[in-house]
Structure 1
């Protein structure tokens, strides 16, 4: 939030989504979900979600979508902790073009420089849920680890650098109305791909009910009913 508050024109728009999606609680299973949404002059949507399942499960998930006039990747973030030892980290500038076509800015060299300083976060993603050749870059931060010190010593600084890099890239890009149609289409394709594969849907269904989970994922997380 301290970084986001510096974004030009930052506005919270959580009130624009159904109240049932602001927060969900299961007292019996001792878990809760908290969700906030923002927009700014450069980002059409910044979604921040935290799932608190007690000591067994902690999840931070966020997506930052540039406005359609920016031919740039989405910033995707997933940090998960299961118990006190199992951690999973995914963070990437997620390219939207097919076939490796470049965006308006070649972001990979700057990410490669950051990633090289954190070899603990340079793993490979499995193909169980996602295909890393679609909507993922070669410079994705990915790791499974058990040492909790990696969170503060490696993950936190890498997260800050990736976030600052994405914000700097978007703020430095000149809006181009000619790309709006294409970027609207590709962001929707990204949402469809993500919604169909998101493993969190099953977890939400188990905690808050299948109907709520489906509506939350398809109508809010990825807004497919409104696009």
Structure 2
């Protein structure tokens, strides 16, 4: 996928980037269901500025394609998590969710004006998220990019450039932010709250259970996607 390739190319320039996928059990690096012809790939990185960058690609053939990524700043940075979720169901049904997900109401950097400027260039991505799984008032900013669309041209003409700009801004923001060790415990707790909230509501758990089994899915989501057992 172009999104995966772009993110990997940008990440190469992150100071101290290293892959740490080997720190999780091998069965969670890749999962395959030959009968249903689906495959999941999971990679994890860290850098001097990010304590964790998780990239997941789910290939369900032409019926289901998923690109998901989360970028967690190190605890010394009072900055939002960058959350990315792009899904395609067949050729006509697309779902986009991307946001600088705030951990609290007063981050040290006021990132919303820049995001607002970027978002204004992509009105097709300015929809309102359903409350079926998530509450927009918790861990989402007003500059959330959300869209359901059928026109495949939107993917490369709007979504890809918006993704590029959001990702670049998050990286620029964290590189220029001065780390503050005094806030590490506070940010640790806020990121843990975010992980709990996300794991309990992630609709992908059901999809993974249907493809790879419930036990695998629960352990993968709670212990490896969000690492709740490690806190």
Question: How many angstroms apart in 2 are the aligned matches of 1:102 and 1:166?
Answer: 17
Q: Deviations over 1:31-68 (max 9, x none)?
A: 00001000000000000000000011000000000000
Correspondent of 1:212 among 209, 212, 216: 216
Correspondent of 1:23 among 11, 27, 30: 30
Task: Measure how far apart 1:102 and its partner are.
Answer: 1.1
* 1:112 equivalent in structure 2: 116
* 2:125 equivalent in structure 1: 121
Task: Measure how far apart 1:12 and its partner are.
Answer: 0.3
Structure 1: runs of 5+ lacking an equivalent:
none
TM-score w.r.t. length of structure 1: 0.98
* 2:41 equivalent in structure 1: 34
1:223 lines up with 2:227 in the alignment:
yes
Structure 2: runs of 5+ lacking an equivalent:
1-7
Question: Number of residue pairs matched?
Answer: 224
Question: How many angstroms apart in 2 are the aligned matches of 1:144 and 1:132?
Answer: 16
Question: How many angstroms apart in 1 are the aligned matches of 2:186 and 2:108?
Answer: 13
* 1:163 equivalent in structure 2: 167
Q: Structure 1 segments of 4 or more deviating over 2 A?
A: none
* 2:59 equivalent in structure 1: 52
Question: How many angstroms apart in 1 are the aligned matches of 2:164 and 2:101?
Answer: 17
Query: Aligned runs of 1:1-227 on 2, under 5 Å?
Result: 1-97=8-104, 101-227=105-231
Q: Secondary structure at the match of 1:36?
A: strand
Q: Secondary structure at the match of 2:230?
A: coil
Question: How many angstroms apart in 1 are the aligned matches of 2:174 and 2:97?
Answer: 21
Task: Measure how far apart 1:218 and its partner are.
Answer: 0.2
Aligned-residue Cα RMSD (Å) equals 0.4
